[in-house]
Chain A
């Protein structure tokens, strides 16, 4: 089953490499000031539909001794939420309520055998989830990922502290350094090792960022295809070999072909008519009274996770979901994906002086959450690619760099993986108002750290200063401008930006006036309890160079 090639074999065969990267990220949403909070469901849905099923995939591959390679980027905010006791407790409550709803559904659908079959499937699904979450991992999913990382088949990497959109924070290099360094420090504290790779939030790169990454000990990062295609030197191998940015940090580019097969509106797998329809959910389809205990405040309809229909297609009435048919389609799509990669490698191998690497990064939450069968597809892809019968070899970017040094030195072009390929999704008429506020707060934080650089502070002042730094980081998350543009939960995104900046303003004012109210400070520490080891002195811009090297 295993097929790891010794390095010398690469040159003598036409094999190429496929690197699949899943980027798992959610904004920090945790509200102890409320008994329950709707947006916390983002995490709960992702755990239920994506992270636990993904762990299931890893467990099965491990049990079958499949020699797969997969890279998983865990954002620091997600790491912190997965470790948080309050959210762990609330997640269990959420999972129990899904189980209860599935049981109610088994009764309600007793005269509709096709539906009842699905209701039973959901009950089994939620029971399995509960067992994995509670019994197997005791609520600590990071330990599951760590376990698989230890096998050498799963590579864990991370991203910026709160997923700040770095090209628009770059008015201050200190802001960028703190996003990068705090992210890496959080990863180290929770995973016990340093990441080799770094996921740039939204693949947002600008020339010069590689210096910050090198100082932080990072060996590689990802850009979108045009980041490499429009680099300072024309890339000899297109997007199929990394560039050395000139400082031993490698930039890998997203492969547009494998990306299109999953993301494209026209050709993407997830839109197949046999797959489960995300938008057909009993939270919207059944009587309000019936679903009231499982929706928002008993009044506002939301997704419950129980969905009975398939995509169906066209304007036809939605047809009932057939899991067996859908899983068979996922296998077909996995075969198609591997076949196309094989074809790509054959084509590229003839023109390249080295084995091509196809880099296929995706948002992790696509798999299982938006695309219910996505985790099954991924498992099939990893199994198929591990078979000797094809020339596609799975590799992480670290594996690649151990075997091949980048052959070309060039600086990638500024780019993102967002709409239009640059920064316009994160700065436009819907969200531009946040940047003057973010930059002003950052300036004030840096001025505070500068003013206090040789001053001893009391423990209370230190707490207030560190909390101010947390508020800045939380306000900088790329999720808020993203949501403001996408128009989904605008009020919440708006409130989060303004609340964090108000909290910063309050702390800044308290520190400057030396009138720190410990009760208020404690409240903010309780509500925004992320990054326990943060050090406000890192906001002193004169702390550069060697001081920043991790």
Chain B
């Protein structure tokens, strides 16, 4: 069995008339990154908040946080995509729902995809934040109390600055996860990198060239993320404070 490669296809024009296939894929990468970046902001804000709340002494807040985490952790990502895309607009006030449904492409897919990925990832961030706070010695919190700080002040000045540094390595892998997971948005019609590789395969019949190109682009993107996060880790490192290696975790 033999497959004849035809790499020049990347430089041939795509049928939409926007340029070469390579350009078409790079624009796809742009959408992948735009989706991942916006979702990452949502995930960090909500995740940091929910994760922190779950370590406080307010029991109702802990329960609420646990409930939030369990809901969004136990529904598959693609099903959550469909919920945000097909179901949520029906339950919004009619005008708002219609406005979302009538948004021109790709915004009609982009907005639900960002919400979905953001909330989905916020749960994973919340787990990391909680674990990071939990890994700090209990004396840190007691010292805060002994100094006369309130609970909020203890978190602000003692706990969180350390916890965030500890969880930087797992957050790096979450950054790569959110980029990878954004590919699920193709199921609601967002033409990001994987979606465009699939479309290119359909237009040009060059299956393996399209998927190889997408794979290489993803690998390069991961490399950039790792390098950037390494710079961030070095920037914020406190001399003498060594982040502990994490236990093995299930993931995807």
- Do they bind each other? no
Residues on B lying within 8 angstroms of A by beta carbon are none
